[in-house]
Structure 1
């Protein structure tokens, strides 16, 4: 077995660490007042040894600071200041009263960047996106009054919880998770969970939140302390977190996409129930950026609300078994106010003060998030004479706030009376002032969660006795112990749960008539999943380092330069227009420098198959993908401009200049923008330019890819594709148009589609080639353009364009609109490490293609976005995709959607372990044999549909 040399390992690690430490030490020196007191740290490393040990409750660990250093203390780890707050007054002062500068979130490398939680409400930094999240949730959950619209849902699901508990009392924890998830699923997505047994979405949410609780633990992941570790290769000592991060990211992506796909599918079929997400989608229309934000807001409402509710209810049942006197008093109130003929409802809340006190004491006895979620300072500040530097991470010890004996006497005793006012007792502080967070970061769904916990407590105590379990004549004492995690709940325990009497048992059973079970939407979810973006089951093992090392670092470094505005100082060369801008020159120099350092390393690293992004790839394929990805990233960073000349160049006589056809051929969607009109374009013939239409046999009209921003159809661009198609199909000629690129001024949509029409008219009208002899072919963005042309032909019979013989769609870019969400689906996709596509390329293309406001259409128009917008066409369609490419899922979904349209002839070809667009890039990524094989399949498809 081959291993990396220990000498190289140590040298690389030490070198990178040295650079990192130097960068931390060279920070500017500002206010020299002391940080809050804390333990003395080690040189350079700081207080790395003072972080909580694995399995140690953080709240107890940091509580030791209170006696040693006072109400506010600090540590520093590799230059990162961390402040711990053990006094609620200090917490209010900083995180509530000064929330304008202390309400952001730390950008944890592991949880936010690698797993993807930065897009969720709870972990989003304090920016405009986060404000939209808050505003959206506030529409439905901002006050106790606003959440009354959900009372009927919560009452019904609480009654269903009683029924499940009656039938299977030993499955308490599963029932709690089911109830909490069912309520929030209905509110958020209009989804009805399985009545009995596990539900796929609830199980997925549980797995997702388990990962969240692990991902955000401070100090747990060394990459949060030393971010450079993320750029080390898989298998390097200390990088086991990378595979864990990939698994968590995949789970999170599914939890975001699956319920979203369900709602979208239900809305398309007019079967959806009104929900938070369906209402949001209706309000925003086709705004892709807002749709992305709403999708993540819904995820935050779903997972956050469910998880904290589970913690509270598990704590409640434990407390009731340990403190029977509390249960007795609660039942006395319920019997007096409610009786035994009905179950409590939300309207009874004000009449049940002791039940309210039980709920408050449940929150206090063990808060669901004992250390809250950390805040980050966005500006320098001071507090009680101490300096709070910009970027400081702050933790409030919420557990201590609810257990301070000066505020809550006998804090370990579960005593609801502490919240009741009597002539001799003033109610103690409501713990909800602490447990839901502070200032601008207070939990936006707190009223929904609060009402769900109250309703369950009231109904359970009305009908059940909760007692310690007796086995073989011995009482089993439940252990009062809680998980040491961000969202903490009791460790598993066993108790006895039985109906209070026969009358109460009948009352539980009668609930089924009052609140009948609804049919589950699990099957509908599965159907939506089949048509949505889901990870391929056989995605090979990959190396995230391939994606991240250097490339992502350079993207982050040069992010401040991109985009660079509309500088007009240009240098015209034969093939490209390069904007002369200092930032672009720096970016180019950086890319060359990084590449020069990286490439020799990869040449050695990829010698071992196990180290390649896909172990099935050859050495040349692994290096080829690396080179192409580097090039595409550079083009997107500097926004490379391509000058489309109408001069023949190297193509000589094979290059044709084409003028637009008659104006009546350009109608409908291509005539909406008054500033974009059909223009003269060029195109290249392969293998030679025919003298007339009668001199050709079968012709392929091939539209090149390049995100509508690069490419020209000439030899250096589409030459490999053309030669491969001619060699492996019955085509005698290929014509590759040089359509206008949206990255050039005035060439936004519909310019490329106008040029596609011009190209087609050139073949059919000018050269007289019958449509039945023409196959339309397009790769990536060219695949999108091919579909646009086919839709134009189908939707505009007045243009009188005949349908071609068939169409080949190679790695079709079906959703430019979705590419506007930078770092959304592409960066988190499990195939990202095994493809050369970069999210920056997609965003650049989508921004460039964006139609004008005057046209009245967006990137969501059916002539641009084909995902979710299939259409009927007499032209047989063959979708070709690579198993390892990011757009694999989209192409499978396209195939499914077009196949479902009555009358369509559709087929799908998947290249095992193939990357994106092998028909265009095959020669560069060394997938030439695979490209030839796929071309043969395309040729047979044409033959079969003649």
Structure 2
């Protein structure tokens, strides 16, 4: 393979960019009337620095334009005009009254062309297919009357929601997603979701909509502004979006094809239930063109309806906890009209005006799509003396339309009374005039979503009290903060949800008899034949001729497990043994050369690109931090793609006499979960002391036993790996020594789980038994995978009293990897997490680590075992725990959840430290990414935690 010279690469890129910009600037020199006012831009680049920063709510960013430039303003980015509308009258004038020319959708290259959302109703341009979509949906969902056929479905699933909430109120968000998905699946496909536990189709839809929200963010993808980038070869600077697009496209295709295949098979076998899709197929038929339309119309109804409902209901529960007087008034109406012997149904809607007002206020208080979905002009126009060029992208600031104090006094207060008519008060504008879109683009499923929200609100308030959580005698104030995304939901919050009384609890339980659970169609879905294109695991595979399907990539077994894998590459079929994959595979050399060449070509591009703070993954980062994340991410992805093998030696290196060789302890110390695999036994390991190796245990004051990270595949605890962490901990805590074990890596043969845990036990015994250091002088510390290993050791100590291991003084868990099992699937949560752009970890690294750690079948356990997966598996421990995480890392949510779950266990002492804008594993990576100050501050907090818990 020929590697393109970086100089040539950058020169070609600059030349192409120059030609492209000249063509943009020479285009359309006719009408010279001014564009709507806006900030002055840079030459050529325009207002690229005026776009919202990463994580900044767009609706608040663009609201600043209203005071500066008036109700309609504009910016231009690389020649593309963008108009922002901060006045509903202007929005109605353009998007409703002149919808013939202002109701198309932007031709976003990334989301529409590369991912495929152009085929969905919401993103389709104005064409004949879009008109058929609208017509089909209108048959079943165009009015309040037409959706009454779904009342029984919505009433039943709302009742099931109450049952789930009664059983596990802490899982509120999961229950909301389940209810919304179940209703719309039944309506759209006649599919019955899993009653308890995850459902494959609901999970797939959630993943698809996360991708949608990321794909349509304005200004996020340079290919939307410079479409020619799409045709550059993989590996060219700035083309990493291509692999992301492929992943999103594959997920979207599955979401389109799988439920359609299910309905077709059910119809062939005469087992189908009446649904939107089955009716459409029976009424119209399924030639090739209509099959395509049926698939995408159904997908549009399914994904759109569920997502907006989830957002509204999450907002409702948050508002009820913050505004208890609203609940009181709502319950007075429900008790008067409904009583306590039955649940509300859809027919009660007209008799419950205050509940209707609560629903409207939920929509107004925080619209699910605060900036709507952008419109595009198909012809030139004028508005209030300003020119609107053809191709202009227009954003209505829906959030401001529902928060303008001139229309809604005290807009931040949740007050349903504003929508009720009294002798002295005229009802304020119904927010549904704005939140469902404008003109021809108004949401076609709005009545279905509206009725689902009403039913849930009415039934929940009939039987439950929603209050602030009380901990240690004090109310926990939920934070009113919302996601900065296209579909915006509240950030995670915790509240108390309990039945109003014993009578109401019995009413909830009685719903199970009235609305019995149905058997799930998940198995039928799995059996339905669906031709979905293979999903490629990594850009490197596609790029260098190793077109490995996900099935092949996912079949790599842990090192030391011999499993033959047959796969088809781009050129031939090969059979190989898993314990030699990539370590001896010829593609390793190609991938390595390619990674070096591509990295060298991309680096100059990013050096220039990151000069603009607004273009960095996090605008708060320094220039060096942004480049550091790029370099480290490239390196880690390469190590995972080629399955880099780290050879561990028991010989001292540069560490000299600071390196200790440790033999396993007595066999009776290794019991239970660490003794299940007959082929994995405790072995002699090494470890490095900092700052010096003590002459005896009595020479040690306080010692930190630190387990390094590296996804159980890389790292060794020596100077180059753990040196920065050790020095930072000694400098900022009361620790006199740090000992970093060189535990076995699961990427090496025969070192799968429980090998790392066996070595952790050996290390702990070395300190307590061989050196005689009291347990109360030891703190366990671990970063990333080392955090997982630290929790595994603590659980082992708690679960195995016969091993007679004393509990340490405390534990520091730095960006702990809590769920290796969840990393087994490519294209999942790590790929689409909002923090993915600001983290140097990616899904390939996580998958490699999880596959390597996988226990053997003979052991009888999986990665879901409580000694491996700690998310959802907290335990009681006398050891105080401090979870430390970075605000910008992928594992941030998991670490916050770990903190909450462990804190909920009676007797546990737990605390949480979040580093603002911090990256993953700051105690390890701080040295490479220039986060040394932040790492020192976090270490100082860790030291204070130790002192406070002595």
Bin of the TM-score, shorter chain as denominator length: 0.5 to 0.7
Structure 1 residues 548 and 402 mapped into 2: Cα distance closer, same or farther (>3 Å)? farther
Structure 1 residues 888 and 157 mapped into 2: Cα distance closer, same or farther (>3 Å)? closer
Provide the C-alpha distance between the structure 1 equivalents of 2:700 and 2:470, rounded to a whole number of angstroms: 89
Give the secondary structure class of the aligned counterpart of 1:898: helix
Deviations 1:215-242, CA, capped at 9 Å, x for gaps: 1010111111121222222222222212
Does structure 2 retain, via aligned residues, the 8 Å contact 1:288–1:818?
no
Deviations 1:671-694, CA, capped at 9 Å, x for gaps: 999999999999999999999999
Deviation of the 1:9 alpha carbon: 1.9
Give the secondary structure class of the aligned counterpart of 2:254: helix
Structure 1 residues 75 and 505 mapped into 2: Cα distance closer, same or farther (>3 Å)? same
Structure 1 residues 163 and 8 mapped into 2: Cα distance closer, same or farther (>3 Å)? same
Provide the C-alpha distance between the structure 1 equivalents of 2:710 and 2:671, rounded to a whole number of angstroms: 26
Structure 1 residues 225 and 734 mapped into 2: Cα distance closer, same or farther (>3 Å)? closer
Provide the C-alpha distance between the structure 2 equivalents of 1:255 and 1:6, rounded to a whole number of angstroms: 40
Give the secondary structure class of the aligned counterpart of 2:654: helix
Does structure 1 retain, via aligned residues, the 8 Å contact 2:550–2:826?
no
Structure 1 residues 472 and 557 mapped into 2: Cα distance closer, same or farther (>3 Å)? closer
Does structure 2 retain, via aligned residues, the 8 Å contact 1:193–1:199?
yes
Deviation of the 1:151 alpha carbon: 0.4
Provide the C-alpha distance between the structure 1 equivalents of 2:38 and 2:290, rounded to a whole number of angstroms: 44
Does structure 1 retain, via aligned residues, the 8 Å contact 2:371–2:399?
yes
Range 280-289 or range 638-647, more displaced: 638-647
Structure 1 residues 717 and 504 mapped into 2: Cα distance closer, same or farther (>3 Å)? closer
Structure 1 residues 798 and 573 mapped into 2: Cα distance closer, same or farther (>3 Å)? farther
Range 904-913 or range 405-414, more displaced: 904-913
Provide the C-alpha distance between the structure 2 equivalents of 1:616 and 1:127, rounded to a whole number of angstroms: 43
Could you state the TM-score of these two structures normalised by the residue count of structure 1? 0.58
Range 912-921 or range 752-761, more displaced: 752-761
Structure 1 residues 74 and 784 mapped into 2: Cα distance closer, same or farther (>3 Å)? closer
Range 669-678 or range 823-832, more displaced: 669-678
Deviation of the 1:56 alpha carbon: 0.3
Provide the C-alpha distance between the structure 1 equivalents of 2:718 and 2:911, rounded to a whole number of angstroms: 29
Provide the C-alpha distance between the structure 1 equivalents of 2:644 and 2:917, rounded to a whole number of angstroms: 30
Provide the C-alpha distance between the structure 2 equivalents of 1:641 and 1:375, rounded to a whole number of angstroms: 51
Structure 1 residues 571 and 54 mapped into 2: Cα distance closer, same or farther (>3 Å)? closer
Structure 1 residues 680 and 189 mapped into 2: Cα distance closer, same or farther (>3 Å)? farther
Does structure 2 retain, via aligned residues, the 8 Å contact 1:551–1:630?
no
Structure 1 residues 616 and 276 mapped into 2: Cα distance closer, same or farther (>3 Å)? farther
Provide the C-alpha distance between the structure 2 equivalents of 1:933 and 1:319, rounded to a whole number of angstroms: 36
Deviations 1:825-860, CA, capped at 9 Å, x for gaps: 999999999999999999999999999999999999
1:547 matched residue in structure 2? 542
Deviations 1:493-521, CA, capped at 9 Å, x for gaps: 00000000000000000001110111000
Give the secondary structure class of the aligned counterpart of 1:682: strand
Structure 1 residues 108 and 579 mapped into 2: Cα distance closer, same or farther (>3 Å)? farther
- Determine whether 1:615 maps to 2:619: yes
Give the secondary structure class of the aligned counterpart of 2:547: helix
Does structure 1 retain, via aligned residues, the 8 Å contact 2:74–2:82?
yes
Does structure 2 retain, via aligned residues, the 8 Å contact 1:571–1:580?
no
Structure 1 residues 816 and 209 mapped into 2: Cα distance closer, same or farther (>3 Å)? closer
Structure 1 residues 60 and 186 mapped into 2: Cα distance closer, same or farther (>3 Å)? same
Structure 1 residues 403 and 854 mapped into 2: Cα distance closer, same or farther (>3 Å)? same
Unaligned 5+ runs, structure 1: 531-541
Deviation of the 1:25 alpha carbon: 1.6
Does structure 1 retain, via aligned residues, the 8 Å contact 2:256–2:299?
yes
Range 692-701 or range 470-479, more displaced: 692-701
Does structure 2 retain, via aligned residues, the 8 Å contact 1:292–1:821?
no
Provide the C-alpha distance between the structure 2 equivalents of 1:516 and 1:826, rounded to a whole number of angstroms: 37
Provide the C-alpha distance between the structure 2 equivalents of 1:320 and 1:648, rounded to a whole number of angstroms: 62
Does structure 2 retain, via aligned residues, the 8 Å contact 1:718–1:736?
yes
Deviations 1:774-794, CA, capped at 9 Å, x for gaps: 999999999999999999999
Give the secondary structure class of the aligned counterpart of 1:551: coil
Provide the C-alpha distance between the structure 1 equivalents of 2:170 and 2:799, rounded to a whole number of angstroms: 60
Structure 1 residues 671 and 401 mapped into 2: Cα distance closer, same or farther (>3 Å)? same
Structure 1 residues 560 and 577 mapped into 2: Cα distance closer, same or farther (>3 Å)? closer
Provide the C-alpha distance between the structure 2 equivalents of 1:509 and 1:659, rounded to a whole number of angstroms: 58
Give the secondary structure class of the aligned counterpart of 1:465: strand
Does structure 2 retain, via aligned residues, the 8 Å contact 1:882–1:914?
yes
Give the secondary structure class of the aligned counterpart of 1:529: coil
Deviation of the 1:30 alpha carbon: 2.1
Deviation of the 1:930 alpha carbon: 56
Range 325-334 or range 653-662, more displaced: 653-662
Structure 1 residues 6 and 395 mapped into 2: Cα distance closer, same or farther (>3 Å)? same
- Determine whether 1:106 maps to 2:106: yes
Deviation of the 1:247 alpha carbon: 1.2
Deviations 1:888-936, CA, capped at 9 Å, x for gaps: 9999999999999999999999999999999999999999999999999
Give the secondary structure class of the aligned counterpart of 2:113: helix
Unaligned 5+ runs, structure 2: 531-536, 570-578
Structure 1 residues 2 and 418 mapped into 2: Cα distance closer, same or farther (>3 Å)? same
| CA RMSD of superposed structures (Å) | 17.8
- Determine whether 1:559 maps to 2:554: yes
Give the secondary structure class of the aligned counterpart of 2:582: strand
Give the secondary structure class of the aligned counterpart of 1:743: coil
4+ residue segments displaced more than 3 Å: 1-4, 542-946
2:596 matched residue in structure 1? 592
Instruction: Decide which of 571, 575, 587 is 1:583's aligned counterpart.
Output: 587
Range 369-378 or range 11-20, more displaced: 11-20
Structure 1 residues 738 and 331 mapped into 2: Cα distance closer, same or farther (>3 Å)? closer
Provide the C-alpha distance between the structure 1 equivalents of 2:474 and 2:813, rounded to a whole number of angstroms: 71
Provide the C-alpha distance between the structure 2 equivalents of 1:512 and 1:90, rounded to a whole number of angstroms: 50
Provide the C-alpha distance between the structure 1 equivalents of 2:278 and 2:197, rounded to a whole number of angstroms: 27
Q: How many residues align?
A: 935
Structure 1 residues 525 and 792 mapped into 2: Cα distance closer, same or farther (>3 Å)? farther
2:156 matched residue in structure 1? 156
Structure 1 residues 67 and 762 mapped into 2: Cα distance closer, same or farther (>3 Å)? closer
Structure 1 residues 463 and 939 mapped into 2: Cα distance closer, same or farther (>3 Å)? closer
Range 129-138 or range 753-762, more displaced: 753-762
Structure 1 residues 662 and 880 mapped into 2: Cα distance closer, same or farther (>3 Å)? same
Give the secondary structure class of the aligned counterpart of 1:807: strand
Does structure 1 retain, via aligned residues, the 8 Å contact 2:374–2:393?
yes
Structure 1 residues 903 and 150 mapped into 2: Cα distance closer, same or farther (>3 Å)? farther
Structure 1 residues 716 and 102 mapped into 2: Cα distance closer, same or farther (>3 Å)? farther
- Determine whether 1:833 maps to 2:837: yes
Provide the C-alpha distance between the structure 1 equivalents of 2:873 and 2:289, rounded to a whole number of angstroms: 18
Does structure 1 retain, via aligned residues, the 8 Å contact 2:541–2:548?
no
Structure 1 residues 104 and 696 mapped into 2: Cα distance closer, same or farther (>3 Å)? farther
Provide the C-alpha distance between the structure 2 equivalents of 1:664 and 1:637, rounded to a whole number of angstroms: 40
Does structure 1 retain, via aligned residues, the 8 Å contact 2:559–2:749?
no
Structure 1 residues 906 and 225 mapped into 2: Cα distance closer, same or farther (>3 Å)? closer
Deviation of the 1:283 alpha carbon: 2.0
Structure 1 residues 25 and 471 mapped into 2: Cα distance closer, same or farther (>3 Å)? same
Does structure 2 retain, via aligned residues, the 8 Å contact 1:547–1:832?
no
Does structure 1 retain, via aligned residues, the 8 Å contact 2:559–2:752?
no
Range 42-51 or range 659-668, more displaced: 659-668
Instruction: Decide which of 803, 820, 823 is 2:824's aligned counterpart.
Output: 820
Does structure 2 retain, via aligned residues, the 8 Å contact 1:232–1:549?
no
Deviations 1:581-601, CA, capped at 9 Å, x for gaps: 999999999999999999999
Provide the C-alpha distance between the structure 1 equivalents of 2:913 and 2:406, rounded to a whole number of angstroms: 70
Give the secondary structure class of the aligned counterpart of 2:655: helix
Alignment of 1:340-489 (within 5 A): 340-489=340-489
Provide the C-alpha distance between the structure 1 equivalents of 2:513 and 2:401, rounded to a whole number of angstroms: 44
2:863 matched residue in structure 1? 859
Does structure 2 retain, via aligned residues, the 8 Å contact 1:576–1:642?
no
2:135 matched residue in structure 1? 135
Does structure 2 retain, via aligned residues, the 8 Å contact 1:467–1:497?
yes
Does structure 1 retain, via aligned residues, the 8 Å contact 2:546–2:587?
no
Deviation of the 1:736 alpha carbon: 70
Structure 1 residues 501 and 304 mapped into 2: Cα distance closer, same or farther (>3 Å)? same
Structure 1 residues 836 and 508 mapped into 2: Cα distance closer, same or farther (>3 Å)? closer
Deviation of the 1:290 alpha carbon: 1.2
Deviations 1:547-593, CA, capped at 9 Å, x for gaps: 99999999999999999999999999999999999999999999999
Provide the C-alpha distance between the structure 2 equivalents of 1:495 and 1:572, rounded to a whole number of angstroms: 50
Does structure 2 retain, via aligned residues, the 8 Å contact 1:806–1:945?
yes
Does structure 2 retain, via aligned residues, the 8 Å contact 1:543–1:833?
no
